[in-house]
Chains A and B, each alone.
Chain A
Amino acid sequence: MQGLASLLAVVVRLFLPDKKQKDKDDNKEDKPLANLLVVDDDPDIAHVLKQGLLKNGFLVNAFTNPEEALQNFQSNSEDYCLMLSDIRMPGISGIKLARRVKEINPNVKVILLTSFEIKDNEFSKVFPSMQVDGFAQKPISIKDLTNKILDIIGESKKRLYQ
């Protein structure tokens, strides 16, 4: 009997998630932070960037051939929020690609990446005619890159990510 009493005394508490918190979590897990176009002629770097940014909640299309990346962008320009591109690539350089992307959709943000030391003079030839939203020097951690992207695409998405 005593055993039964103790058994009946067991209280089962179910902790239901707070609705607002749940919505926020669902949003974080299901809804990508932004749709990114990643272009780097080095397949290893393109792969690492894609995997790292996917893990951090972005939707990523990565290309090693800038011509193919441009074709994809031409067909889906409204879907993309930001392009992350290497600068020195054969065929179409990151500088040329950024210009064409901005011509097609000026709302798309652009970050240029380079393994080379970023020298002002490298870009002075094309500035101020060129609208690039940010630069990053490789190697860069995915965390730093994510923060840079979030800084550029907007504070609201940054809050969602945090």
Chain B
Amino acid sequence: MTMRRTGSHHIESVIEWFEIGLEEGENGILVYPNTQTFREIYMQYVKDQLVAREEQKENVDDNNNNDDDYHDNNNIRKEQLLMPRIILIATFYDTVNAVKHNLSAVGIDVQSHIDDGSLLIVDAFDGYYPNIDGMKKLVASLSKRARKEGRIGVSAIVNMGFFFLYDGDKAASELISYETSLPSKTDGGNVRGFSCYHARDYKNLDDSQKKKLLTQGQKKSLEVIESCADVAFDA
């Protein structure tokens, strides 16, 4: 399924898709129109998942009372809030330091989230080169750690720009082969994977390659279009 979102609320639409559109264990494809939009997406998502979560936890602490049922439910809720998901940002067009800077600029205490294991920012290049399966291994290790630490799961926001770095006919087939190797859904999985494509990179694929990318893996996808035109959904 492809969903196209346009207009001024595109960031909210993408965040909604990240949170509701994809279930635990699913991998989806996001096409973003420009680098700034991609930055806004990961900044908002990290803020919602890690900062807003901390604020909710503080509210739970403040609302504590002596009612046993309330106390039990509240403890479960508090425990959930204590263990946020792990967010992996694999950046390609911005450096790791630039991503940290962008997150800090919107009030996120980046270092404390990195230190407590909730946030990991890596250069996507290192995840694919020299071993193309490096990123999969990294995500698998995060999934394992999330289970061990009692976390809800892992969100992997991965920029796919690496696959467009080099020339050659094999580049697109390497990408399609990689993307189709990621299952659209893993039962019992705890990872939400977002393969993120810059629109200018995505445009380099021809129609049959785009079709293969989406249909061979039966992936859910969201294409954010820059213009403020109508919202369009494609089934």
CA distance A67 to B203 in the complex (A): 12
A94 → B minimal CB distance (Å): 9
A120 → B minimal CB distance (Å): 11
Q: Closest A-chain residue to B96, C-beta based?
A: A116
A88 to B129, Cβ gap below 8 A?
no
B165 to A93, Cβ gap below 8 A?
yes
9-residue interface stretch from A13-21, A26-34, A121-129, A143-151: A121-129
User: Provided the pairs A41-B35, A95-B165, A96-B166 are in contact, do residues A90 and B198 lie with their beta carbons within 8 angstroms?
Assistant: yes
B167 to A90, Cβ gap below 8 A?
no
Contacts between chains A and B (CB distance < 8 A), count: 45
Q: Confirm or deny: B93 has a beta carbon within 8 angstroms of a beta carbon on chain A.
A: yes
Q: Closest B-chain residue to A89, C-beta based?
A: B93
Q: Confirm or deny: B201 has a beta carbon within 8 angstroms of a beta carbon on chain A.
A: yes
CA distance A114 to B234 in the complex (A): 38
B125 to A116, Cβ gap below 8 A?
yes
CB contacts under 8 Å to B, within A73-99, are 87-91, 93, 95-96, 99
A residues in contact with B129, CB < 8 Å: 121-122, 125
Q: Confirm or deny: B19 has a beta carbon within 8 angstroms of a beta carbon on chain A.
A: no
In the complex, per-residue mask of A30-72: 1 if CB is within 8 Å of any chain B CB, else 0? 0000000000010000000000000000000000000100000
A90 to B130, Cβ gap below 8 A?
no
Quick one: which of A87, A95, A99, A116 has the most chain B CB within 10 A? A116
User: Provided the pairs A116-B95, A125-B129 are in contact, do residues A90 and B123 lie with their beta carbons within 8 angstroms?
Assistant: no
Q: Closest A-chain residue to B98, C-beta based?
A: A115
Q: Confirm or deny: B147 has a beta carbon within 8 angstroms of a beta carbon on chain A.
A: no
Q: Confirm or deny: B117 has a beta carbon within 8 angstroms of a beta carbon on chain A.
A: no
Q: Closest B-chain residue to A42, C-beta based?
A: B35
A135 → B minimal CB distance (Å): 15
Query: What does DSSP make chain A's interface, helix, strand, loop or mixed?
Result: loop
A residues in contact with B98, CB < 8 Å: 115
B164 to A90, Cβ gap below 8 A?
yes
Interface size, A (range): 10 to 19
User: Provided the pairs A88-B93, A93-B164, A95-B166 are in contact, do residues A122 and B201 lie with their beta carbons within 8 angstroms?
Assistant: no
A residues in contact with B125, CB < 8 Å: 116, 122
User: Provided the pairs A88-B93, A116-B95 are in contact, do residues A125 and B166 lie with their beta carbons within 8 angstroms?
Assistant: yes
CA distance A125 to B125 in the complex (A): 13
CA distance A91 to B203 in the complex (A): 8
CB contacts under 8 Å to A, within B138-166, are 161, 164-166
A residues in contact with B123, CB < 8 Å: 116
CA distance A67 to B201 in the complex (A): 11
B residues in contact with A125, CB < 8 Å: 129, 166
Q: Which residues of A contact B (CB under 8 A)?
A: 41, 67, 87-91, 93, 95-96, 99, 115-116, 121-122, 125-126
Q: Which residues of B contact A (CB under 8 A)?
A: 35, 92-93, 95, 98, 123, 125, 129-130, 161, 164-167, 198-201, 203-204
Give me 14 other A-B pairs in contact (C-beta within 8 A), A90-B35, A90-B93, A95-B166 excluded. Answer: A41-B93, A87-B165, A88-B165, A90-B164, A90-B198, A91-B198, A91-B200, A91-B201, A95-B165, A99-B167, A115-B98, A116-B123, A121-B130, A122-B125
Cβ-closest 9 pairs across A and B: A91-B200, A90-B198, A90-B200, A93-B165, A115-B95, A90-B201, A96-B167, A88-B93, A99-B167
Q: List 5 A-B contacts (CB under 8 A).
A: A88-B92, A95-B165, A115-B98, A116-B125, A121-B130
